[in-house]
Structure 1
Amino acid sequence: MTLNILAPIFLFTLTAAITPGGATTLATASGLQYGLGRSIPLIAGIAFGMVSLSVAASVGLASLMLTSPKLHLLLKLAGTVYLLWLALMIARSNRPKTRDDLAKPISFFGSLGLLWLNPKAWAMTMGAAASFSALITDPLHLAFWLGLAFGISAIFSMSLWCSTGSLLARLLKTDRQWKIVNVILGLLLAASIMPIWLF
Protein backbone atom coordinates (compact mmCIF):
# COMPACT_ATOMS: atom_id res chain seq x y z
CA MET A 1 0.00 0.00 0.00
CA THR A 2 1.49 3.34 -1.02
CA LEU A 3 1.79 6.45 1.12
CA ASN A 4 -0.41 8.50 -1.21
CA ILE A 5 -3.27 6.07 -0.44
CA LEU A 6 -2.63 5.60 3.29
CA ALA A 7 -1.90 9.25 4.13
CA PRO A 8 -5.43 10.52 3.35
CA ILE A 9 -6.99 7.60 5.25
CA PHE A 10 -4.94 8.27 8.38
CA LEU A 11 -5.48 12.03 8.08
CA PHE A 12 -9.25 11.54 7.80
CA THR A 13 -9.48 9.11 10.73
CA LEU A 14 -7.27 11.24 12.96
CA THR A 15 -9.32 14.35 12.20
CA ALA A 16 -12.56 12.45 12.82
CA ALA A 17 -11.30 10.99 16.10
CA ILE A 18 -9.72 14.12 17.56
CA THR A 19 -12.52 16.62 16.94
CA PRO A 20 -14.72 17.28 20.00
CA GLY A 21 -17.77 15.12 20.45
CA GLY A 22 -19.31 12.60 22.82
CA ALA A 23 -16.33 10.23 22.98
CA THR A 24 -13.77 13.01 23.46
CA THR A 25 -15.89 14.56 26.21
CA LEU A 26 -16.15 11.19 27.96
CA ALA A 27 -12.39 10.68 27.68
CA THR A 28 -11.75 14.13 29.17
CA ALA A 29 -14.20 13.51 32.00
CA SER A 30 -12.68 10.10 32.70
CA GLY A 31 -9.17 11.57 32.80
CA LEU A 32 -10.43 14.28 35.15
CA GLN A 33 -12.07 11.83 37.55
CA TYR A 34 -9.87 8.73 37.31
CA GLY A 35 -6.62 9.59 35.52
CA LEU A 36 -5.16 8.08 32.37
CA GLY A 37 -4.28 4.67 33.84
CA ARG A 38 -7.77 3.86 35.11
CA SER A 39 -9.29 5.16 31.85
CA ILE A 40 -7.52 2.62 29.64
CA PRO A 41 -10.62 0.35 29.40
CA LEU A 42 -12.66 3.34 28.17
CA ILE A 43 -9.98 4.24 25.60
CA ALA A 44 -9.74 0.61 24.45
CA GLY A 45 -13.52 0.31 24.16
CA ILE A 46 -13.80 3.44 22.04
CA ALA A 47 -10.90 2.34 19.84
CA PHE A 48 -12.34 -1.16 19.39
CA GLY A 49 -15.74 0.40 18.66
CA MET A 50 -14.25 2.51 15.89
CA VAL A 51 -12.37 -0.48 14.47
CA SER A 52 -15.46 -2.70 14.48
CA LEU A 53 -17.72 -0.01 12.99
CA SER A 54 -15.24 0.76 10.21
CA VAL A 55 -14.88 -2.94 9.40
CA ALA A 56 -18.68 -3.32 9.35
CA ALA A 57 -18.97 -0.27 7.10
CA SER A 58 -16.26 -1.56 4.75
CA VAL A 59 -17.98 -4.88 4.19
CA GLY A 60 -21.41 -3.27 3.82
CA LEU A 61 -23.08 -4.22 7.10
CA ALA A 62 -23.47 -0.64 8.30
CA SER A 63 -25.47 0.37 5.23
CA LEU A 64 -27.90 -2.49 5.92
CA MET A 65 -28.26 -1.32 9.53
CA LEU A 66 -29.01 2.28 8.59
CA THR A 67 -31.37 1.58 5.66
CA SER A 68 -34.12 0.48 8.05
CA PRO A 69 -35.87 3.64 9.33
CA LYS A 70 -37.24 1.86 12.42
CA LEU A 71 -33.87 0.39 13.33
CA HIS A 72 -32.18 3.73 12.72
CA LEU A 73 -34.70 5.49 15.00
CA LEU A 74 -34.21 2.83 17.68
CA LEU A 75 -30.45 3.30 17.42
CA LYS A 76 -30.84 7.06 17.83
CA LEU A 77 -33.16 6.71 20.81
CA ALA A 78 -30.94 4.20 22.58
CA GLY A 79 -27.84 6.30 21.91
CA THR A 80 -29.57 9.45 23.15
CA VAL A 81 -30.76 7.81 26.37
CA TYR A 82 -27.32 6.34 27.04
CA LEU A 83 -25.49 9.62 26.39
CA LEU A 84 -27.97 11.61 28.50
CA TRP A 85 -27.51 9.15 31.37
CA LEU A 86 -23.71 9.48 31.10
CA ALA A 87 -24.00 13.29 30.90
CA LEU A 88 -26.11 13.31 34.07
CA MET A 89 -23.61 11.08 35.90
CA ILE A 90 -20.74 13.37 34.89
CA ALA A 91 -22.61 16.57 35.81
CA ARG A 92 -23.53 15.15 39.24
CA SER A 93 -19.95 14.10 39.98
CA ASN A 94 -17.95 15.83 42.67
CA ARG A 95 -14.27 15.78 43.52
CA PRO A 96 -13.02 12.19 43.13
CA LYS A 97 -12.80 10.07 46.26
CA THR A 98 -9.34 9.23 47.52
CA ARG A 99 -10.06 5.50 47.84
CA ASP A 100 -9.77 3.82 44.44
CA ASP A 101 -12.51 1.26 45.14
CA LEU A 102 -15.18 3.94 45.58
CA ALA A 103 -15.07 5.14 42.00
CA LYS A 104 -15.55 3.05 38.88
CA PRO A 105 -14.68 4.48 35.48
CA ILE A 106 -16.68 3.60 32.38
CA SER A 107 -15.85 0.05 31.33
CA PHE A 108 -14.59 -1.30 28.02
CA PHE A 109 -18.11 -2.49 27.13
CA GLY A 110 -19.70 0.78 28.26
CA SER A 111 -17.55 2.81 25.90
CA LEU A 112 -17.92 0.21 23.14
CA GLY A 113 -21.69 0.59 23.54
CA LEU A 114 -21.31 4.35 23.19
CA LEU A 115 -19.86 3.89 19.71
CA TRP A 116 -22.29 1.20 18.58
CA LEU A 117 -25.29 3.28 19.70
CA ASN A 118 -24.05 6.45 18.02
CA PRO A 119 -25.53 7.01 14.54
CA LYS A 120 -22.95 9.76 13.99
CA ALA A 121 -20.16 7.16 14.36
CA TRP A 122 -22.00 4.86 11.94
CA ALA A 123 -22.36 7.69 9.42
CA MET A 124 -18.70 8.69 9.81
CA THR A 125 -17.40 5.16 9.24
CA MET A 126 -19.82 4.61 6.36
CA GLY A 127 -18.66 7.87 4.80
CA ALA A 128 -15.03 6.80 5.16
CA ALA A 129 -15.73 3.39 3.64
CA ALA A 130 -17.62 4.92 0.73
CA SER A 131 -14.96 7.59 0.12
CA PHE A 132 -11.92 5.35 0.31
CA SER A 133 -13.44 2.41 -1.58
CA ALA A 134 -12.32 4.19 -4.75
CA LEU A 135 -8.71 3.96 -3.53
CA ILE A 136 -8.93 0.44 -2.08
CA THR A 137 -11.40 -1.62 -4.08
CA ASP A 138 -11.09 -4.93 -2.17
CA PRO A 139 -13.55 -4.75 0.79
CA LEU A 140 -11.31 -6.87 3.03
CA HIS A 141 -8.26 -4.68 2.38
CA LEU A 142 -10.42 -1.60 2.92
CA ALA A 143 -11.71 -3.06 6.20
CA PHE A 144 -8.15 -3.79 7.36
CA TRP A 145 -6.72 -0.35 6.56
CA LEU A 146 -9.72 1.62 7.80
CA GLY A 147 -9.88 -0.48 10.95
CA LEU A 148 -6.17 0.02 11.59
CA ALA A 149 -6.36 3.76 10.90
CA PHE A 150 -9.46 4.31 13.06
CA GLY A 151 -7.99 2.18 15.88
CA ILE A 152 -4.67 4.04 15.99
CA SER A 153 -6.37 7.42 15.64
CA ALA A 154 -8.88 6.65 18.40
CA ILE A 155 -6.18 5.46 20.82
CA PHE A 156 -4.10 8.58 20.16
CA SER A 157 -7.05 10.97 20.34
CA MET A 158 -8.72 9.47 23.42
CA SER A 159 -5.36 9.30 25.23
CA LEU A 160 -4.76 12.96 24.42
CA TRP A 161 -8.19 14.05 25.64
CA CYS A 162 -7.93 11.84 28.71
CA SER A 163 -4.50 13.30 29.52
CA THR A 164 -6.00 16.77 29.16
CA GLY A 165 -8.59 15.80 31.77
CA SER A 166 -5.84 14.48 34.07
CA LEU A 167 -3.92 17.73 33.70
CA LEU A 168 -7.06 19.73 34.42
CA ALA A 169 -7.60 17.70 37.60
CA ARG A 170 -4.26 18.97 38.93
CA LEU A 171 -5.40 22.56 38.43
CA LEU A 172 -8.70 22.22 40.30
CA LYS A 173 -8.32 23.14 43.97
CA THR A 174 -11.82 23.54 45.41
CA ASP A 175 -15.00 21.47 45.44
CA ARG A 176 -16.76 24.32 43.63
CA GLN A 177 -14.21 24.25 40.79
CA TRP A 178 -14.68 20.49 40.45
CA LYS A 179 -18.45 20.89 40.35
CA ILE A 180 -18.31 23.63 37.69
CA VAL A 181 -16.01 21.60 35.42
CA ASN A 182 -18.11 18.45 35.83
CA VAL A 183 -21.32 20.33 35.02
CA ILE A 184 -19.68 21.86 31.93
CA LEU A 185 -18.48 18.42 30.74
CA GLY A 186 -21.95 16.96 31.37
CA LEU A 187 -23.55 19.76 29.35
CA LEU A 188 -21.03 19.31 26.52
CA LEU A 189 -21.79 15.59 26.41
CA ALA A 190 -25.54 16.31 26.34
CA ALA A 191 -24.98 18.86 23.56
CA SER A 192 -23.08 16.25 21.53
CA ILE A 193 -26.42 14.46 21.08
CA MET A 194 -27.75 17.16 18.73
CA PRO A 195 -25.76 15.97 15.66
CA ILE A 196 -27.16 12.45 16.18
CA TRP A 197 -30.59 13.80 15.24
CA LEU A 198 -29.25 15.69 12.24
CA PHE A 199 -28.04 12.53 10.44
Structure 2
Amino acid sequence: MTVPPLLALMGFVLVATLSPGGATTLATASGANFGLRRSLPLIAGIAMGLASMAAAAAAGLAGLLLAAPALQVALKASGTAYLLWLAWQVGRRSAPRGPGGGARPQSFVDGLWMLWHNPKGWAMTMGAAASFAGLAEGPARLGLLLGAAFGVSAALSLSLWCCAGLVLGRSLRTTAQWRILNAALGSLLALSVLPIWL
Protein backbone atom coordinates (compact mmCIF):
# COMPACT_ATOMS: atom_id res chain seq x y z
CA MET A 1 0.00 0.00 0.00
CA THR A 2 1.32 3.41 -0.87
CA VAL A 3 0.59 6.66 0.92
CA PRO A 4 -1.15 8.67 -1.86
CA PRO A 5 -4.01 6.18 -2.39
CA LEU A 6 -4.49 5.94 1.38
CA LEU A 7 -4.61 9.73 1.59
CA ALA A 8 -7.18 9.74 -1.21
CA LEU A 9 -9.27 7.19 0.71
CA MET A 10 -9.04 9.22 3.92
CA GLY A 11 -10.01 12.40 2.05
CA PHE A 12 -13.01 10.65 0.50
CA VAL A 13 -14.12 9.19 3.84
CA LEU A 14 -13.66 12.48 5.68
CA VAL A 15 -15.72 14.45 3.16
CA ALA A 16 -18.37 11.72 3.06
CA THR A 17 -18.79 11.59 6.84
CA LEU A 18 -18.58 15.34 7.48
CA SER A 19 -21.10 16.30 4.79
CA PRO A 20 -24.61 17.13 6.05
CA GLY A 21 -27.18 14.39 5.90
CA GLY A 22 -29.52 12.37 8.06
CA ALA A 23 -26.87 11.07 10.46
CA THR A 24 -25.23 14.45 10.99
CA THR A 25 -28.61 16.14 11.53
CA LEU A 26 -29.58 13.47 14.04
CA ALA A 27 -26.26 13.91 15.88
CA THR A 28 -26.74 17.70 15.97
CA ALA A 29 -30.28 17.35 17.32
CA SER A 30 -29.13 14.85 19.93
CA GLY A 31 -26.29 17.12 21.03
CA ALA A 32 -28.63 20.09 21.37
CA ASN A 33 -31.23 18.14 23.34
CA PHE A 34 -29.16 15.67 25.36
CA GLY A 35 -25.48 16.71 25.28
CA LEU A 36 -22.46 14.76 24.09
CA ARG A 37 -22.27 12.15 26.84
CA ARG A 38 -25.91 11.03 26.46
CA SER A 39 -25.52 11.06 22.66
CA LEU A 40 -22.51 8.71 22.62
CA PRO A 41 -24.58 5.51 22.21
CA LEU A 42 -26.27 7.00 19.12
CA ILE A 43 -22.92 8.16 17.71
CA ALA A 44 -21.39 4.74 18.35
CA GLY A 45 -24.35 3.02 16.65
CA ILE A 46 -24.12 5.22 13.57
CA ALA A 47 -20.33 4.78 13.37
CA MET A 48 -20.62 1.01 13.78
CA GLY A 49 -23.41 0.93 11.21
CA LEU A 50 -21.29 2.79 8.67
CA ALA A 51 -18.22 0.66 9.43
CA SER A 52 -20.15 -2.59 9.04
CA MET A 53 -21.85 -1.26 5.90
CA ALA A 54 -18.45 -0.42 4.37
CA ALA A 55 -17.13 -3.87 5.23
CA ALA A 56 -20.24 -5.50 3.74
CA ALA A 57 -19.93 -3.41 0.57
CA ALA A 58 -16.30 -4.49 0.20
CA ALA A 59 -17.27 -8.12 0.76
CA GLY A 60 -19.68 -8.08 -2.18
CA LEU A 61 -23.03 -7.01 -0.79
CA ALA A 62 -22.76 -3.91 -2.98
CA GLY A 63 -22.86 -6.15 -6.06
CA LEU A 64 -26.04 -7.83 -4.83
CA LEU A 65 -27.73 -4.46 -4.26
CA LEU A 66 -26.71 -3.24 -7.71
CA ALA A 67 -27.92 -6.46 -9.35
CA ALA A 68 -31.33 -6.46 -7.64
CA PRO A 69 -33.33 -3.31 -8.46
CA ALA A 70 -36.28 -4.49 -6.35
CA LEU A 71 -33.99 -4.76 -3.33
CA GLN A 72 -32.76 -1.22 -3.97
CA VAL A 73 -36.32 0.12 -4.05
CA ALA A 74 -37.19 -1.78 -0.84
CA LEU A 75 -34.09 -0.33 0.85
CA LYS A 76 -35.01 3.18 -0.30
CA ALA A 77 -38.61 2.81 0.87
CA SER A 78 -37.75 1.41 4.29
CA GLY A 79 -34.94 3.95 4.71
CA THR A 80 -37.27 6.80 3.80
CA ALA A 81 -39.96 5.60 6.22
CA TYR A 82 -37.46 5.27 9.08
CA LEU A 83 -35.83 8.66 8.44
CA LEU A 84 -39.24 10.34 8.29
CA TRP A 85 -40.22 8.69 11.58
CA LEU A 86 -36.98 9.96 13.16
CA ALA A 87 -37.63 13.43 11.71
CA TRP A 88 -41.08 13.43 13.31
CA GLN A 89 -39.57 12.37 16.65
CA VAL A 90 -36.99 15.18 16.51
CA GLY A 91 -39.38 17.83 15.16
CA ARG A 92 -42.03 17.41 17.82
CA ARG A 93 -39.66 17.81 20.80
CA SER A 94 -39.98 20.73 23.14
CA ALA A 95 -37.34 22.06 25.55
CA PRO A 96 -35.33 19.20 27.12
CA ARG A 97 -36.45 20.07 30.66
CA GLY A 98 -39.82 21.64 29.85
CA PRO A 99 -43.25 20.11 29.27
CA GLY A 100 -42.88 17.21 26.89
CA GLY A 101 -39.13 17.28 27.50
CA GLY A 102 -38.96 13.81 29.00
CA ALA A 103 -37.71 12.35 25.72
CA ARG A 104 -34.74 10.04 25.76
CA PRO A 105 -31.87 10.09 23.29
CA GLN A 106 -31.77 7.54 20.49
CA SER A 107 -29.87 4.37 21.37
CA PHE A 108 -26.97 2.45 19.84
CA VAL A 109 -29.46 0.17 18.06
CA ASP A 110 -31.37 3.19 16.71
CA GLY A 111 -28.16 4.54 15.16
CA LEU A 112 -27.17 1.17 13.73
CA TRP A 113 -30.67 0.57 12.33
CA MET A 114 -30.84 4.04 10.80
CA LEU A 115 -27.52 3.61 8.99
CA TRP A 116 -28.34 0.21 7.57
CA HIS A 117 -31.50 1.70 6.06
CA ASN A 118 -29.76 4.80 4.74
CA PRO A 119 -29.29 4.73 0.96
CA LYS A 120 -26.79 7.62 1.20
CA GLY A 121 -24.61 5.38 3.38
CA TRP A 122 -24.87 2.55 0.87
CA ALA A 123 -23.95 4.90 -1.98
CA MET A 124 -20.90 6.18 -0.09
CA THR A 125 -19.63 2.76 0.90
CA MET A 126 -20.32 1.16 -2.50
CA GLY A 127 -18.48 4.03 -4.17
CA ALA A 128 -15.55 3.56 -1.81
CA ALA A 129 -15.47 -0.21 -2.33
CA ALA A 130 -15.40 0.24 -6.12
CA SER A 131 -12.94 3.14 -6.13
CA PHE A 132 -10.42 1.82 -3.61
CA ALA A 133 -10.56 -1.93 -4.29
CA GLY A 134 -6.89 -1.87 -5.34
CA LEU A 135 -5.75 -0.78 -1.86
CA ALA A 136 -6.07 -4.24 -0.34
CA GLU A 137 -5.55 -7.84 -1.38
CA GLY A 138 -8.99 -9.38 -1.40
CA PRO A 139 -12.42 -8.43 -0.10
CA ALA A 140 -11.70 -9.31 3.56
CA ARG A 141 -8.75 -6.92 3.84
CA LEU A 142 -10.60 -4.24 1.89
CA GLY A 143 -13.54 -4.69 4.27
CA LEU A 144 -11.28 -4.22 7.29
CA LEU A 145 -9.65 -1.15 5.76
CA LEU A 146 -12.91 0.51 4.71
CA GLY A 147 -14.68 -0.46 7.93
CA ALA A 148 -11.93 1.08 10.06
CA ALA A 149 -11.70 4.22 7.93
CA PHE A 150 -15.45 4.87 7.86
CA GLY A 151 -15.99 3.90 11.51
CA VAL A 152 -13.29 6.17 12.93
CA SER A 153 -14.12 9.07 10.63
CA ALA A 154 -17.86 8.81 11.37
CA ALA A 155 -17.25 8.76 15.13
CA LEU A 156 -15.10 11.89 14.90
CA SER A 157 -17.33 13.84 12.52
CA LEU A 158 -20.54 12.95 14.36
CA SER A 159 -18.94 14.03 17.64
CA LEU A 160 -18.18 17.40 16.03
CA TRP A 161 -21.77 17.76 14.80
CA CYS A 162 -23.04 16.71 18.23
CA CYS A 163 -20.83 19.33 19.94
CA ALA A 164 -22.12 21.96 17.50
CA GLY A 165 -25.63 21.00 18.56
CA LEU A 166 -24.61 21.19 22.22
CA VAL A 167 -23.26 24.74 21.75
CA LEU A 168 -26.43 25.71 19.89
CA GLY A 169 -28.62 24.17 22.59
CA ARG A 170 -26.85 26.11 25.33
CA SER A 171 -27.73 29.37 23.60
CA LEU A 172 -31.48 28.67 23.72
CA ARG A 173 -33.51 30.14 26.58
CA THR A 174 -37.20 29.67 25.86
CA THR A 175 -39.48 26.77 25.02
CA ALA A 176 -40.40 28.55 21.77
CA GLN A 177 -36.72 28.67 20.75
CA TRP A 178 -36.39 24.94 21.45
CA ARG A 179 -39.50 24.18 19.42
CA ILE A 180 -38.16 26.20 16.49
CA LEU A 181 -34.75 24.47 16.65
CA ASN A 182 -36.23 20.98 16.88
CA ALA A 183 -38.76 21.71 14.12
CA ALA A 184 -35.93 23.00 11.90
CA LEU A 185 -33.72 19.96 12.62
CA GLY A 186 -36.66 17.61 12.08
CA SER A 187 -37.40 19.32 8.76
CA LEU A 188 -33.76 19.02 7.67
CA LEU A 189 -33.80 15.35 8.56
CA ALA A 190 -37.00 14.89 6.53
CA LEU A 191 -35.46 16.76 3.59
CA SER A 192 -32.45 14.42 3.68
CA VAL A 193 -34.65 11.76 2.04
CA LEU A 194 -34.97 13.77 -1.18
CA PRO A 195 -31.53 12.81 -2.57
CA ILE A 196 -32.45 9.16 -2.00
CA TRP A 197 -35.09 9.41 -4.74
CA LEU A 198 -33.43 11.91 -7.10
The TM-score with structure 2 as length reference comes to 0.94
Asked if 1 retains the 8 angstrom alpha-carbon contact of 2:17 and 2:150, the reply is: yes
Q: Give yes or no for the alignment of 1:59 onto 2:59.
A: yes
Structure 2: any 5+ residue segments left out of the alignment? none
Report % sequence identity.
55
CA distance in structure 1 between the aligned counterparts of 2:147 and 2:123, rounded to whole angstroms: 15
Asked if 2 retains the 8 angstrom alpha-carbon contact of 1:18 and 1:158, the reply is: yes
> Which string of whole-angstrom CA distances, capped at 9 and with x for unpartnered residues, describes residues 169-198 of structure 1?
110011111111111101100000001112
Partner of 1:109: 109
Asked if 2 retains the 8 angstrom alpha-carbon contact of 1:27 and 1:43, the reply is: yes
Counterparts of 1:10-159 in structure 2, within 5 Å, are 10-97=10-97, 102-159=102-159
Query: 157-166 or 66-75, which moves further after superposition?
Result: 66-75
The CA deviation at 1:5 is 2.7
> Which string of whole-angstrom CA distances, capped at 9 and with x for unpartnered residues, describes residues 60-89 of structure 1?
112213421222111111111111111111
> Which string of whole-angstrom CA distances, capped at 9 and with x for unpartnered residues, describes residues 80-122 of structure 1?
1111111111111000027xx9331111111111111111211
Asked if 2 retains the 8 angstrom alpha-carbon contact of 1:97 and 1:103, the reply is: no
Q: CA RMSD in A?
A: 1.6
The CA deviation at 1:137 is 4.1
Asked if 2 retains the 8 angstrom alpha-carbon contact of 1:53 and 1:62, the reply is: no
> Which string of whole-angstrom CA distances, capped at 9 and with x for unpartnered residues, describes residues 20-67 of structure 1?
000000000000110000001110011001111100111111221342
SS at match of 2:123: helix
Partner of 2:194: 194
Asked if 2 retains the 8 angstrom alpha-carbon contact of 1:94 and 1:178, the reply is: yes
- Output the amino acid matched with 2:159: S
> Which string of whole-angstrom CA distances, capped at 9 and with x for unpartnered residues, describes residues 136-169 of structure 1?
3422221111111101100001000000011111
Partner of 2:160: 160
Partner of 2:185: 185
CA distance in structure 2 between the aligned counterparts of 1:51 and 1:121, rounded to whole angstroms: 10
- Output the amino acid matched with 1:75: L
- Output the amino acid matched with 1:3: V
CA distance in structure 2 between the aligned counterparts of 1:93 and 1:109, rounded to whole angstroms: 21
The CA deviation at 1:124 is 1.0
Asked if 1 retains the 8 angstrom alpha-carbon contact of 2:53 and 2:122, the reply is: yes
Asked if 1 retains the 8 angstrom alpha-carbon contact of 2:90 and 2:182, the reply is: yes
Asked if 1 retains the 8 angstrom alpha-carbon contact of 2:6 and 2:135, the reply is: no
CA distance in structure 2 between the aligned counterparts of 1:55 and 1:24, rounded to whole angstroms: 21
SS at match of 2:135: coil
- Output the amino acid matched with 1:96: P
CA distance in structure 2 between the aligned counterparts of 1:196 and 1:41, rounded to whole angstroms: 26
